[in-house]
Structures are given as C-alpha cells and as structure tokens.
Structure 1
Amino acid sequence: MIFFLLYSLIIAQRLIELKVARRNEKKMKARGAKEFAAEHYKWIVILHTTFLLSLVLEAYVKGFELSPFFPVLFLLFIVLQGLRVWTIRSLGMFWNTKIIILPNANIVKKGPFRFLRHPNYVVVSFELLVIPLMFNAFWTAILFTILNALLLLLVRIPAEEAALSQQSDYDHQFSDTPRFIPQEERKHSKTPPK
C-alpha cells in the first residue's frame, strides 16, 4: 500500500536526520558551540510527532485513499526532498534540529542559502501541507500548516536569528537575502566618484 510505504520512508528519514543532528551536535559542541533557546525544542518534537499521528489517523478514517492529484503532489514531495538534502549537505556539520551556534564561525552562504535564509523551514512547511494532501487528509494539512507557521514565525526563527546575530556576522551576511521566497538577485548600484 502506497500510504504505508511513504509513511515508513518519512519516519525512517526523520530518524536518520535525528542521528545526523546528534552527531553534528557533538562535533559542534566539541569545538565550543552553544545551544540557544532550548526550551522551545520540545514543542517542535511534539508538533512533528503529533503530525505523524494525525496523518495516519485521518488517512485511516478516509480509507487511505489517494488524492486525484497524487502524481503532482508526489512529484512536489520528491522536489522537496531534493531541496532538503541540498540544504543539509550545504550546512554540513552546522545543520541541526536544535539551535546550536559556533561563535564567530563563517556563515554558510552556499547552496540554497544563496537564495533564502531558511530553506529548511520552507521545505518543512510545504511538507506539512503536501504529505497530507496526497492522502486527502485535509484537516491534518490545515491544522499543522497553521501550527508550524506560528511556531516558526513567533518562536523558532526569531530565536535562531537572534542567536546567529549575537555569535556571528549573520545580519550583514544575509542583509540582502530573503527569508522564505527567492527573489531576483539585487544589483548593487555603485555611486560614481565625484
């Protein structure tokens, strides 16, 4: 059954990511990195765990039926996974599920970070919408898209940006980089000498 194959793949992916995050956390802390705003992390774990539970429950109630738009939604899901891998690989040991900052480290401005400040949050936000829609789990899609947006916009992103600003050249490095929606590269006009 397609639902259980995809569901198992998502859970396996999340478990692998947690293992990578723990490994990166150890590497970073061994180099003097600090964790910031740890108190909100439990809410992220709760949100993602209840999302997975809600998804399976609502899909079960609806008979695990596929959306008529499943092929398009699945293709979008695959594209999102490519962006997720690109983001994680671009950050290397700096990627984590927690806010762990190495003071005075060079800011990563390669990969998707050339276009967005928070590509990983864009991926997660779209996943919380796309995955349930593949199985007509509309309530899960709506509820967790809203909850995730509130958690990201009101708590996680402000805490992460504040920590990066305190510990690095973040504000300067990302002054022309949009948070969530890529924009045409801005041309810096040079003032002619007088």
Structure 2
Amino acid sequence: MNYPGFAHLPAGLLVLVAALVGERLFELAVARRNARWAAARGGVEYGQGHYPVMVVLHVGLVVGMLAEVALLPRPFIPALGWTALAAVVLANVLRAWCMHALGPQWNTRVIVVPGLPLVSDGPYRWMRHPNYLIVIVEGVALPLVHSAWVTALVFTVANAALLTVRMRLEDRVLRPVT
C-alpha cells in the first residue's frame, strides 16, 4: 500500500503537536527558572542519569505518533479521537494545577531543597505523584487522537519502566522531608 507520508499529515494533528510542543517549551523554561530558584536555596538534584532517557522518551512519543500516522493507515475515528483529545486537554489542565500547587518547587528534574516541607495542596492532597498519572493518561491519549495505537503501547510500556525508577527515586530522596 502507498501512504501519503509526512508531507500530508492531517492539519489538526499538526496544530495539536505544535500546541503541545509550545507548552512543553514553556514548561522547560519554568523548570529552568525553578531550578535556579532551588539552587539558590541549596537544592540538590538527583537522578540526572535518567533525565536524558525521559527526554528521549517524550520526544519519541511525538515523533512516533507522527511517524505512525504518516506511514501506516491510521484514520481519525471520531469517537476515539475526540475522547482522546478531551483526555489530552484535561491532562494538561491537571498538569498546570500540579505546577501551580508546587510553585517554585515544580520541575522536570528531581531537585530537593533542604528544609522545605512536602507540598500537600492541590492534587497532592489526594495523591503522592499526580503528575505521573497525568503523564500516563497523556501518553496513552495523545497517540490515540489519530489512532496511533502502536505508539501509545510502546510509550506506555517504556514510560512505566521510567516512572518506576523516577517514583522510587523521589520517594527515597523525599523520605527525610516527611
């Protein structure tokens, strides 16, 4: 079969990806600012070794989804696509809530500022790692907007391994705070 390729990706999908990339670049800017804030207060970073893996995994989610839609017959199925899009939007709203609750302590890296208590506001009132649940939802939903189920599956499995490492690390380094 002959598929249209990357030059003919659906415009709506490209707009979604552009919006998400813009949002991630904003988050990285906030993370850099917050890392400077933490460093000024004696913050210590942990888990630097897994951070590049996380970056590659998240870039791979977007690239994999685009490649799958471009190279395989992945139609937009309205019931699935609109539901998945709603989940992506909700996930990003909830991520903003996590960022707001953590304030300057929010980061894409694991940085602990000595003497600060654990945040127990916002979604952290009910869950220890709400942002990771959000990442799981988004990792499944984003590719399914355009039926890219292989990308959703591969990302979910790889992300589960990464999140296992990251949550264990966070629990270990934050234990003295509790």
* Displacement after TM superposition at 1:67 (Å): 2.5
Deviations 1:127-171 (A, max 9, x none): 110000111101000000010011111x111111111113x12xx
Check whether the contact 1:3–1:64 (CA below 8 A) recurs between aligned residues: no
1:149 corresponds to: 160
Q: List, as ranges, runs of 4+ consecutive aligned residues in structure 1 with deviation greater than 6 Å.
A: none
1:45 corresponds to: 55
Identity across matched positions, percent:
34
1:107 & 1:139 partners in 2: Cα distance?
Answer: 37
* Displacement after TM superposition at 1:4 (Å): 0.5
2:125 & 2:63 partners in 1: Cα distance?
Answer: 35
Q: How many residues align?
A: 167
RMSD: 1.2
1:7 corresponds to: 17
Counterpart amino acid of 1:31?
Answer: R
Q: Secondary structure at the match of 1:39?
A: coil
1:71 corresponds to: 82
Check whether the contact 2:74–2:148 (CA below 8 A) recurs between aligned residues: no
From the CA coordinates, give the structure whose radius of gyration is larger.
1
Check whether the contact 1:67–1:136 (CA below 8 A) recurs between aligned residues: yes
Q: Which runs of 5+ in 1 are unaligned?
A: 170-194
1:92 corresponds to: 103
Check whether the contact 1:41–1:98 (CA below 8 A) recurs between aligned residues: yes
- The counterpart of 1:80, out of the listed 72, 91, 110, is 91
* Displacement after TM superposition at 1:64 (Å): 6.3
Deviations 1:36-86 (A, max 9, x none): 121111111111111111111001124663123222221222211111110
